[in-house]
Structure 1
Amino acid sequence: MDKVRHVVQEAAEEGAELVVFPEATMQGFGTGRLDSQAEPLDGEFVTALRELAEGYNLALVAGVFTPADTVERDGKTINRITNTLVACLPDGSLFTYDKIHTYDAFGFAESDTVAAGKELSTFLYKGVRFGLATCYDVRFPQQFRALARRGAQAILLPASWATGKGKLEQWRLLTRARALDSTSVIVAVGQALPLDERTAAAPSGIGHSGVLAPDGTTIAELGEQATLAVYDVDLEEQVAKMRTSLPVLDYPENYL
């Protein structure tokens, strides 16, 4: 939370109106049991985020963990959590998104400890409709197209993208593709490359946060380490023009 406060203060001083943090802002993967740290939405962590948004008069999006359910896995009782994004607006409003596509891939089963969400989520801020998605969701283009059809001009994508062979290339390719096939601005905010060896094997992060234009081109890309960058994006101009010239959202989703 001290890191979050510092970044929000600095961003506000630079004139930011929306600050987006990565997935797992509350507690990085590989740093201990998530169920022991998870809190309800009226808990201390989210309350502090809401106070920052109101105090600095900006919107704030961050990844947290909230309690979900209890399941049996291989004879063990597991208290699952939800991988949740919270969008805190300066007027006190709170919007949430529970990650729909759990990371059950490459030999890892996130669904063992994380309950999947079921609903898409958007919110309106300063006349702009924003959509929310998390990390592994980026491999599912239909989610991004559905958010765009619900009016999202920009889709915020906090992530903890795992390291590995080809993963940076996949991250860049997938974020650009989701921008193009949803004709939306994508703000992809990844956890920085971990400096602690204990978290190096966890699905923690490779950095390379980016802002992608609705034509799939890169507006900005950061490096591996934690960085604050402030960008102005003309959503109305870029998105409206692209959706007029390339009306892919007008076609039916189901061709069968």
Structure 2
Amino acid sequence: MDVERRDIEIFLVLAGELHFGRTAELLRVSQARVSQTIRTLERRIGARLFDRTSRRVALTAIGQRLRDEVAPAHRQIQEAFERARAAGRERNTVLRLGFAAPAVADLIADRLETVRAQGFHVQVKEAAFDDPLRSLRDGDVDALVTLLPEPGVVVHTEPLVLAVAAKHPFARKESVSLEDLTRDTVLRAVWPPQLPWTTPAGRPIELGRAPGTIQELFLAVEAGEGISPLAEHATRYFARPNLAFVPFSDAPPVEWSLVWREETAAVRALSSTR
């Protein structure tokens, strides 16, 4: 037997109030609606649920048993819906934001403060260096700021620099060009952002191993294993005595993009903030 949720609510409230007028007032429906609903339920069940006289309303034995069996299940359904609504509210007001480079959180601090001022709570998380998108795929973050060639909203741009060992010949240059990338092994290349790994002139770039962390990358560069194009903020956040950062003379700016799996209210707030 199909029973509407509203019909169940009307029955349970009437079973508690034992008054058609108060039931109608509490549920903000007409008294006629309450009477019609009870008559329909009794017709479908094939038995009276309430004894009604001009002076009183009382549950029948069948009505009492129905109330006792339905009320706990109805309460569980209501609590389940409330938990779902609470989760939905939290999901739309909390933003778990991953960063492929944690320092970028500082670089877009004004943008994050603007989002927080709108009532959203931003939780900053560090994404894995070797696979930044993993945290997004696994659902550990709601959105990610990354350099990877993913469609998204650009939230920060900065110049490209080349990390080299302090004793490397490039360390004595005022600037390097993208064509210089063919003159050594390139580690963890930020540029070019996608295949093929070639310079603007079409010359192939030799890629070296992929270090698992940023510190491993720097150690490899310092040891002379290769060179590494990086975003310019590395010169301020990762200054090291055995490392040099050389600006590019012809590289396009590095673009940090915000990407996400599902557009929540918090994601929309961050992506639209300037």
TM-score bucket (shorter structure): under 0.3
**What TM-score comes out, normalization by structure 1 length?**
0.23
Higher strand share: 1
Higher relative contact order (CA 8 A, sep 6+): 2
**What TM-score comes out, normalization by structure 2 length?**
0.22
